[in-house]
Structure 1
């Protein structure tokens, strides 16, 4: 009878996989010996494998280039990174090695853009696509960037007042985009996105606010689906409505030449994950080509805004199982030495799924468990609702430490979790390690941040020295 944890994984999934393999010392992720990482830095531990960022960017570029060549598509493709997914400098530094552009969401994003320009990592040819609801500070920062000569900064109009607010602050002519307020899926509590301008209102808005405004040119139509680019009737229906708006606008607005299909690609959330990225890109290019040919208008240049897809699969978290609590006949709670709410907040807030595997002890027998965090909050757990399947791990043994890993956690978790700030129940945030490759292709590690200590917490709370 196959009762080992490795037998369970072999029977349930195709394993090993491209990024996962098993060696004598335990699980390897992108050839990173995770037990060596634990032995060097301890657990709990967050890490970022930087080369994965460049790999995913170039995968997407190739899918679009292949589709453009196949359909003889005359437009250009521009890859933008959504900084809100992870604002860290090490992430931007890696992403910007690949000749990409940037999408921003709020005022301080522009300050990051200015830092990147000052260091020579971007230049005036880099597109800065400014999304989000814009008021005083964001308007001022966008205007400053444009006034200082960054003509490829394109504010995406989110509401009826932003054209006037921008015009009051920008000194010369400028270009804008308009965001479509897409209709949400039926399961949502609301029908229409709060972001952007409704389908039926976009052409009247253009005629009223832009057409006769000598200082403003409409350059881009922005199409965003909250649930991302997926092969569903809902997605293709919304894309078709978007293309109708583009065609109607293009016929009366010659300056419109770009379509931004925001709402990114999904990332791997289990070992059973399947998604045909190349097919989706090919079909998007095909649909745009057919619609524009039928209407006899020029096809647009394509922009995408990939945040989670860019950085998500670069991240991971490792925890140690501290203790097992047998709460009743059926439920065994494995307690991790950290908190899900603070270190992987999406597991708590939106029941997001991540790849979860044991790091060591794959030759031991397995058992079904629930995972609990250290806080006193009853919602601090990870179970089969968050995981794609029931959670099985090597059997808990007090004298044999067990480590578990969560993978593809690189997007949003640090910012939503409040990196460097207060943590729920004052559970400290873990160490964070950056993993890269040197010029010879050898893996290197660098400690980015230490585990949060009590002095940092007390200072934030006002209990610092002198108080």
Structure 2
């Protein structure tokens, strides 16, 4: 009888896959020995496999390069990384190895850009596309970057006031883009995105505030929809409307030469995931070319802002199943040694699915379970795996430790969960490991951050002085007295 966990996977999916394979019934991810990782660092832990960031950038650049050749497209392609997906330095350092550009979304992003410029990771030739709703500090930081010589910083206008605010602080001429407020899918609670300027208002806005403004050049039109790039009628309809705005603007604005189609490439969220990236890229390039030819205008340079696609598939988390609770005749709860709310907030906030697989015991019998986190919150659970909203794992046995991994979690989870900050029910953030390859292709690991301690939480909560060891407390008092 086929009753082992490995039988279930083989019957349900094509397995092994490019990034997943077994060795002695233990899971390997990109040939990383996850069992050895657990033995070295203990669970719970998170990890970032840095080479996958470069792999995905190279894949996307090749798809666009091939599509440009196939369609005899006369414009250029520029890959931008959407920094809000993960601001960590190790992520930016890896991404910037690949001749890419940057998209920012808030004031402090500019400080990160300036820090990377000092290190030589970003140059004046690097495009910095500044998106988002811009208030005083963001405006000031953008202006400082441009005034210091970074002319390829292009603020993307989000509302009617921003152009005047930028003009007051930027010396000399500067380039801008305009974001289209796309219309959302019918299932949304609202009709139009809060970001950007409506389709019908963009040409009038250009005529009123930019056309005769000798200080400002319109270089880019920005288009993005919340549901991302999908092969469905809604996406193609919105892209068509965007292209109509672009061609109308191009006829009256000779400086306009770039179209930013945003981000939105999906990432693998189950072993059954299928998405024809090359086809989508080819069709997008083809549709842009057709629209421009029909309107008799030059095709634009194409920009993308891939965030989740860049970094998402590099991340993983490993937990240990601590205990099993039989709550009724049908429901078994496997309790993990961490929390979904704190470490994978997208699983409960937006019901996002990630690939979930056991690390060990693939040759054991399996059972249907629910996964519960450690907090006392009723929402701290995960049950949306690929098996029709059910989760199957090797049978729980107290004497046989079971480890489970969540994969492709590298985008947003750390920032939304509040890395290094307070966590729900004071559940500590797990340790984080950076995984790389050396020049010989050998896997290397490095501890990026330790698991949070009680002292970390006490300091954040204002208890530091009350819980400071007596010797340290006396030393602090002495320093205060000496400074008087």
TM-score range, shorter chain: over 0.9
Q: Distance between the aligned counterparts of 1:24 and 1:451, measured in 2? A: 30
Correspondence for 1:441: 441
Correspondence for 1:355: 355
The Cα shift of 1:384 comes to 3.1
2:354–2:385 Cα contact (<8 Å) kept: no
**Within the alignment, does 1:65 sit opposite 2:57 as a pair?**
no
Q: Distance between the aligned counterparts of 2:349 and 2:209, measured in 1? A: 39
1:369–1:391 Cα contact (<8 Å) kept: yes
Q: Distance between the aligned counterparts of 2:137 and 2:70, measured in 1? A: 44
Q: 1:252 to 1:266 in 2, by over 3 A?
A: same
Q: Distance between the aligned counterparts of 2:26 and 2:36, measured in 1? A: 9
1:435–1:443 Cα contact (<8 Å) kept: yes
Q: Distance between the aligned counterparts of 1:433 and 1:392, measured in 2? A: 27
Secondary structure of 1:149's match? coil
Q: Distance between the aligned counterparts of 2:461 and 2:387, measured in 1? A: 35
Deviation digits for residues 160-190 of structure 1 (CA, Å, limit 9, x no counterpart): 0000000000011000000000000011000
Correspondence for 1:43: 43
Q: 1:232 to 1:439 in 2, by over 3 A?
A: same
Q: Distance between the aligned counterparts of 1:279 and 1:373, measured in 2? A: 40
2:185–2:234 Cα contact (<8 Å) kept: yes
Deviation digits for residues 190-224 of structure 1 (CA, Å, limit 9, x no counterpart): 00000000000000000011001010000000001
Secondary structure of 1:248's match? helix
Secondary structure of 2:309's match? helix
2:22–2:28 Cα contact (<8 Å) kept: yes
Q: What are the within-5 Å matches in structure 2 for residues 14-163 of structure 1? A: 14-24=14-24, 26-163=26-163
Normalising by structure 2, we get a TM-score of 0.96
- Unaligned 5+ residue runs, structure 1? none
Secondary structure of 2:411's match? coil
Q: Distance between the aligned counterparts of 2:141 and 2:418, measured in 1? A: 24
1:5–1:365 Cα contact (<8 Å) kept: yes
Secondary structure of 1:369's match? strand
The Cα shift of 1:25 comes to 5.8
Q: Distance between the aligned counterparts of 1:385 and 1:124, measured in 2? A: 45
- Unaligned 5+ residue runs, structure 2? 468-484
1:56–1:310 Cα contact (<8 Å) kept: yes
Q: Distance between the aligned counterparts of 2:63 and 2:10, measured in 1? A: 31
Secondary structure of 1:219's match? strand
The Cα shift of 1:262 comes to 0.4
Q: Distance between the aligned counterparts of 2:90 and 2:173, measured in 1? A: 34
Question: Based on CA coordinates, which of the two structures has the bigger radius of gyration?
Answer: 2
Q: Distance between the aligned counterparts of 1:388 and 1:350, measured in 2? A: 18
Correspondence for 2:471: none
Correspondence for 1:224: 224
The Cα shift of 1:263 comes to 2.9
The Cα shift of 1:318 comes to 0.2
The Cα shift of 1:264 comes to 1.9
Correspondence for 1:294: 294
**Within the alignment, does 1:266 sit opposite 2:266 as a pair?**
yes
Q: Distance between the aligned counterparts of 1:261 and 1:337, measured in 2? A: 41
Q: Distance between the aligned counterparts of 1:186 and 1:32, measured in 2? A: 43
Q: Distance between the aligned counterparts of 1:103 and 1:139, measured in 2? A: 15
2:316–2:406 Cα contact (<8 Å) kept: yes
Q: Distance between the aligned counterparts of 2:62 and 2:126, measured in 1? A: 20
Q: Distance between the aligned counterparts of 1:25 and 1:352, measured in 2? A: 28
Q: Distance between the aligned counterparts of 1:60 and 1:384, measured in 2? A: 29
Deviation digits for residues 326-368 of structure 1 (CA, Å, limit 9, x no counterpart): 0000100000000000000000100000000000000000000
Secondary structure of 2:231's match? coil
Greater shift, 389-398 or 101-110, is seen at: 389-398
**Within the alignment, does 1:344 sit opposite 2:344 as a pair?**
yes
Correspondence for 1:179: 179
The Cα shift of 1:76 comes to 0.3
1:351–1:385 Cα contact (<8 Å) kept: no
1:269–1:353 Cα contact (<8 Å) kept: yes
Q: 1:423 to 1:163 in 2, by over 3 A?
A: same
Q: 1:64 to 1:2 in 2, by over 3 A?
A: same
Correspondence for 2:395: 395
Secondary structure of 1:221's match? strand
Q: Distance between the aligned counterparts of 2:323 and 2:27, measured in 1? A: 22
**Within the alignment, does 1:457 sit opposite 2:457 as a pair?**
yes
The Cα shift of 1:465 comes to 2.2
The Cα shift of 1:234 comes to 0.1
Secondary structure of 1:133's match? coil
Q: Distance between the aligned counterparts of 2:211 and 2:424, measured in 1? A: 51
Q: Distance between the aligned counterparts of 1:135 and 1:387, measured in 2? A: 45
Q: Distance between the aligned counterparts of 1:219 and 1:398, measured in 2? A: 63
Q: Distance between the aligned counterparts of 1:71 and 1:402, measured in 2? A: 51
Instruction: Please give the root-mean-square deviation of Cα atoms over the aligned residues, in Å.
Output: 0.9
Q: 1:121 to 1:433 in 2, by over 3 A?
A: same
1:339–1:427 Cα contact (<8 Å) kept: yes
1:353–1:387 Cα contact (<8 Å) kept: no
Q: Distance between the aligned counterparts of 1:15 and 1:328, measured in 2? A: 34
